[in-house]
Amino acid sequence: MKAKKTDPMKRFLKKYPFLKETERVYRTVDAAVGAPEPIQLPARAAAKTLAEKLPILQQETYRRRMVRAVYMIQEEVYDRIARADVPPLMRESARAYLAVLKPLRKTAKEEFITAVLLQDAPAFAALCARHNLNEGFVRSTTWRIIAALVPPALKEPEAWDADPDRPQFRQNYCPVCGRRPALADLHKFRDGRARYLICGGCGTQWLYARVGCVYCGNADLEKMRTLEPENDDRIRLDICDACDSYIKTYRGPAEGSDDDYIYRQDWASVHLDLLAEEKGLHKKGNPILE
């Protein structure tokens, strides 16, 4: 008799029951964002990224296209969150943003989205302060909408480096949106592993150097170390003492498993973020915090 196959998420949450509420809220917001039709990003946009190292959504034509697409659906998304079973602060923050957007003209509404896409932190902070908005909530939710509008094929590492032996894009920022990574993922490659980064904004994956800090570029191994949790050998913290930052690195089974997709989500290892915070380390790449 074959063993009954259990749901990967149920197995994961059984192991980490303290993450059940986080997963539920994350799933609820996903449902609020829905599955909008991705915007069109032609091959020439990706070609320019590879040639000039300019992320697609930092190219003016495609940035404007994304801003328009987010503008078209954002109020529906925030309305769903405002009526959803989420923590009170999230509902209140969604209602506050909706109230601010309602009387604004299209250009003024798009200012919020443009500031997020350009990662213009001072401009976005000023907009939120002017209207007394929850900056982290609005920014992170806007990125969730952006992520849903990026064509899935462009999020795959093969879109940027079909041949790991001849990488075409090896920058420490996302080729699609330009954000910094929130996670790293070690894929089996020949007799070892290749390191891929996962964007903290749109979720794109791309190949990066196997060794070194993904944030400051430090390659001095004496200033690099790892911190491995006692109860899970699939994920660790790669720490850079040069800039006091860290990146969570997933190193799951070499052949992959049906729960890989869980570990590749930032919320699934928030307990490691708390551990890093206790040690005075800085988290980067997460849109809530930046």
The stretch 121-142 carries a mean pLDDT of 97
Distance CA 39, CA 168 (A): 24
If asked whether residues 200 and 120 sit together in one domain, one would say no
pLDDT value of position 205: 96
The stretch 184-210 carries a mean pLDDT of 91
Question: From start to end of the chain, where are the E strands?
Answer: 181-189, 192-199, 205-208, 224-227, 235-240, 245-250, 282-283
User: Can you name the residues that pair with 181 across neighbouring β-strands?
Assistant: 199
Where does the pLDDT of residue 193 fall: very low under 50, low under 70, confident under 90, or very high at 90 and above? Answer: confident
Q: Name the pTM for this structure.
A: 0.93
Minimum mean pLDDT range among 5-9, 27-31, 98-102, 131-135: 5-9
The stretch 109-115 carries a mean pLDDT of 98
The stretch 146-157 carries a mean pLDDT of 97
Q: Burial, 260: exposed, middle or buried (Cβ in 10 Å; 0-12, 13-18, 19+)?
A: middle
pLDDT higher than 90, residue 6? no
Domain range for 80: 16-151
pLDDT value of position 137: 97
pLDDT value of position 1: 47
pLDDT value of position 192: 80
CA neighbours closer than 13 Å in the CB half-sphere of residue 182: 24
Task: Give per-residue pLDDT as tens, 214-266.
Answer: 999 999 999 999 998 887 788 999 999 999 999 999 987 656 677 788 989 99
pLDDT higher than 60, residue 163? yes
pLDDT value of position 251: 87
Share of the chain above pLDDT 90, in %: 81
pLDDT value of position 164: 79
In a domain, 256, yes or no: yes
If asked whether residues 83 and 173 sit together in one domain, one would say no
pLDDT value of position 64: 98
Distance CA 70, CA 49 (A): 22
If asked whether residues 67 and 109 sit together in one domain, one would say yes
**pLDDT averaged over the chain?**
93
Task: Give per-residue pLDDT as tens, 48-74.
Answer: 999 999 999 999 999 999 999 999 999
If asked whether residues 159 and 147 sit together in one domain, one would say no
DSSP letters spanning 24-72:
HHHHHHHHHH--PPPPP--HHHHHHHHHH---GGGSHHHHHHHHHHHHH
If asked whether residues 173 and 264 sit together in one domain, one would say yes
If asked whether residues 193 and 262 sit together in one domain, one would say yes
Contact 206, 169 (CB under 8 A): yes
pLDDT higher than 70, residue 4? no
pLDDT higher than 90, residue 191? no
Classify 183 as helix, strand or coil.
strand
Q: How many domains does the chain have?
A: 2
pLDDT higher than 80, residue 2? no
If asked whether residues 108 and 69 sit together in one domain, one would say yes
In a domain, 3, yes or no: no
